[in-house]
Amino acid sequence: MAGRLREMRCELSFLKNADGSACFSQGATCIWASCSGPGDVHASKASDEAMTLDISYRANCGDNKFNVLNNIIHSTLSNAINLELFPHTTISVTVHGIQDDGSMGAVAINGACFALLDNGMPFETVFCGVLIVRVKDELIIDPTAKQEAASTGRVLFSVCKGSDGHPEVCAMDAIGHWDFIQLEAAWSLAQPSASAIFDFYKTVMKRKLSVDEQ
């Protein structure tokens, strides 16, 4: 059980006002992600060379002005999407945490990717998130909230497909006492999980597009 992802579910295009939207869950952790744009950008934020990213993660309680996940999602999107195709525009990605049973960071990254896929953005590479925690020297993928609270170290990988098709690190946030061997073990554990998530992307997009063919 330590090496398996919880069950993933996804529903696309369920918000009619958003250009792309996704309801994504892993186990009991659920998020809603929406994506609108490219669209008008305020003059103070406009960039003549690339699209401006407006990322917002919102928990379902407390202050939503700042969240630690905004930075890693922003960095991941900058790498994954070709922003230079839409200069002087902005794209707004909002992720709402509906229910938190652990691995919220990974689920938020996956949900954001689904929303962008639903929007039809020009991807350079798909990305996904994998959270690994260490509980008494055992590494656990996709932990529940209990396992996350009991952990002594956690590392959130944002994984993207490299040019050779293998998973590569796109961003990483590690906290806790890690030595390199443990971190390398966590990364080798994260790669097959990332491949499984990429396969899930393919399955969901196939299902979405097959409806259009009917």
Partner 1 sequence: MSSEVLRGIDPRGYFATFIKEGVYPDGRGLLDEQKLVFKQGECGGVGSSVVSTQGVTVSCSIQASVSLVSDAPLVDIKIEGSQQLSEKDAEDCNSVLLSLFTNNCFVRRENLRCLDVCGKPLPLEWQLHIIVKVLSLEGNFLDAAVCALGAALVDAKLPSIVLNHSEGDESTIEKTQIQADYRTMHRLTLEEPLMCCSFGIFVDVNSDKKSEVLLLSPTLEAISVCRATCSVIVGKDDHMVMVRERGQFSSFSLLKKMCQITAERRHKFVESLQNVV
Q: Where on the chain is the footprint of partner 1 (CB under 8 A)?
A: 66, 68, 71-72, 75, 79, 125, 155, 160, 162, 168-180, 183-184, 187
Closest CB to partner 1 among 14 and 84? 84
Which helix (H) or strand (E) segment is 207 a member of?
Answer: helix 180-213
Give 191's Cβ-side CA count (13 Å radius).
12
- Least separation in angstroms between CB 185 and partner 1: 11
Nearer to partner 1, 15 or 159 (CB): 159
Give the shortest CB-163-to-partner 1 separation in angstroms: 9
CA distances from residue 121 to 9, 104, 114, 193 in whole angstroms, order as listed: 21, 24, 10, 24
Residues written for the chain = 214
Question: Could you give the CA distance from residue 189 to residue 141 in angstroms, rounded to a whole number?
Answer: 8
Nearer to partner 1, 60 or 188 (CB): 188
Name the strand (E) or helix (H) holding 10. Answer: strand 8-12
Select 9 or 165, whichever has its Cβ closest to partner 1. 165
Q: Nearest distance from residue 132's CB to partner 1, in Å? A: 13
In whole angstroms, the minimum distance from the beta carbon of 208 to partner 1 comes to 27
